[in-house]
Amino acid sequence: MKLFSTLTRYKEDFVPMQEGHVKMYACGPTVYNYFHLGNARPFVTFDTLRRYLEYKGYEVEFCQNFTDIDDKMINRANEEGITVKELADRYIKEYYVDADGLNCKRPTYQPRATETMDAIIEMIQSLYDKGYAYVIEGDGVYYDVSKKEDYGKLSHYNLDELNPGGGERGASYDGKRNPGDFALWKFKKEGEPFWESPWGDGRPGWHIECSAMNKKYLGGTIDIHAGGQDLIFPHHENEIAQSEAANGCPFCNYWVHNAFVNVDNEKMSKSLGNFFTIRDIVAKFPYPVIRFFILSGHYRMPINFSDELLRAAQTGLQRISTSAANLKFALDKHAASNASGKADAELREAISKSGEDFVAHMDDDMNTADAITDIFNLVKAANTALASGEASESALQEAYDKLMELTDVLGIELLNSEEEGIPSEITELVEQRAAAKKEKNWAEADRIRDLITSKGYTVKDTPNGPQVEKL
């Protein structure tokens, strides 16, 4: 398997530190609001990477954090007149509603920054003792980027390019030794939560939280660190600086970043006000469609958001879902029990090829876009075999099993509810029509067919049983 490394800017063979075991970290949400589609892209993308690694036989230790203390959290809590913890508790609960809806597996570890304070303070102390950190009176403890000779190696920036506040999220501070120095610990201000530390009461800076959680749960060096490309600088650059200085070892072997979701060719973000929360989108489109939409493009390429593109994704997912439903219907009814098997060789060749191509594309820097095309190729072959009436039950079962296997690797749930796929009402009508035909009650069969059509579906008779599609 090859992964594109942001650090080297090349596709590299993935070789974990420990055979058969992968340590992987992905930056999680700052929990002050519902998460939007731009946030969902890394959650879905790196859940899929984790799933694929497990499919390949790796044991994956996956850590994704919650940032539950920072300026945005404090400002939002103050606006609502509640504590930061109350705000965090609310939106962590809501995060799981959407993450579960998108079929993201629960991480091995999902720590909160506020529950990792001892590890955070311990790491800052190590940096201070080693001369990488200094105190600005009345302000906080800062990291001295000039002490790290290779600072900028991930983002490929150099110190001369950094403006004051460059290491922070839109902040600028007097008294720093270098323009890019960033806060490790911020001294308390009126109305803010705080913790005790050797330097004074306060709270951690943004970057140190992830470094400390990484070390606590995964150790000094990890295999994969993942996140959106907007985190390359300053967040991930500063994670490297802190972690390598404090731990005395390389921080991460593979840096993997996804591209933006765009609206009108601009990055979707809360700061630009052009974002759509997953909760907004799911009012129009089911969760599985959103996941399918995200995976339909290569993770390193920007994707554009629109209702039209989501409708196209829904149509594509419906096509896969309908094929699976028709295969299952034929198998459940033993419709192919007397089939000649003449179509088996061709179908089994398509099953084998789709599986091999799927793995080849996923091995090539997790190319989910082409992997989905491989699934469509399998769907086409399965539909052809069903229509021919010459595929045996065993071959159809293999096609169904492979279809379920490949969609599961991508975490794609097939549509089967009334809102999302072929409603149970339609399935029941199809069965009633089949029973009427068996009894040679042609008038009743025609009446039910017309009723199915009036409800927006078409039924086609094949030797392996009826095939249902949405008009």
- For the beta carbon of residue 147, count every other beta carbon within 10 angstroms: 18
Cα–Cα dist 439/445, whole Å: 10
SS (H, E, C) the chain: CEEEECCCCEEEECCCCECCEEEEEECCCECCCCCEHHHHHHHHHHHHHHHHHHHCCCEEEEEECEECCCHHHHHHHHHHCCCHHHHHHHHHHHHHHHHHHCCCCCCCECCEHHHHHHHHHHHHHHHHHCCCEEEECCCEEEECHHHCCCCCCCCCCCHHHCCCCCCCCCCCCCCCCCCCCEEEEEECCCCCCCECCCCCCEEECHHHHHHHHHHHHHCCCEEEEEEEHHHHHHHHHHHHHHHHHHHCCCCEEEEEEECCEEECCEECCCCCCCCCEHHHHCCCCCHHHHHHHHHCCCCCCCEECCHHHHHHHHHHHHHHHHHHHHHHHHHHCCCCCCCCCCCHHHHHHHHHHHHHHHHHHHHECCCHHHHHHHHHHHHHHHHHHHHHCCCCHHHHHHHHHHHHHHHHHCCCCCCCCCCCCCCHHHHHHHHHHHHHHHCCCHHHHHHHHHHHHHCCEEEEEECCEEEEEEC
What residue spans define the domains of the chain?
Answer: 14-283, 307-470
**Whose structure tokens read 């490949």?**
406
Whole-number Å distance between alpha carbons of 131 and 125: 10
Each residue's pLDDT, cut to its tens digit, for the chain (471 residues) gives: 999 999 999 999 999 999 999 999 999 999 999 999 999 999 999 999 999 999 999 999 999 999 999 999 999 999 999 999 999 999 999 999 999 999 999 999 999 999 999 999 999 999 999 999 999 999 999 999 999 999 999 998 876 666 555 555 445 567 899 989 999 999 999 989 999 999 999 999 999 999 999 999 999 999 999 999 999 999 999 999 999 999 999 999 999 999 999 987 777 776 777 778 999 999 999 999 999 999 999 999 999 999 999 999 999 999 999 999 999 989 998 877 888 899 999 999 999 999 999 999 999 999 999 999 999 999 999 999 998 989 999 999 999 999 999 999 999 999 874 444 567 678 778 878 888 887 889 998 899 989 988 888 888 876 656 777 777
pLDDT value for 263: 86
Q: Which one, of 283, 33, 246, 32, lies nearest residue 147 by Cα?
A: 246
Identify the CATH class of 14-283.
Answer: alpha beta
The pairing of beta strand 133-136 with beta strand 59-64: unpaired
* Residue whose pair of structure tokens reads 């699934």 in the numeric block: 375
Query: pTM of the entire structure?
Result: 0.88
- Considering only CA atoms, which of 26, 105, 51 is closest in space to residue 368? 51
d(CA 294, CA 36): 12
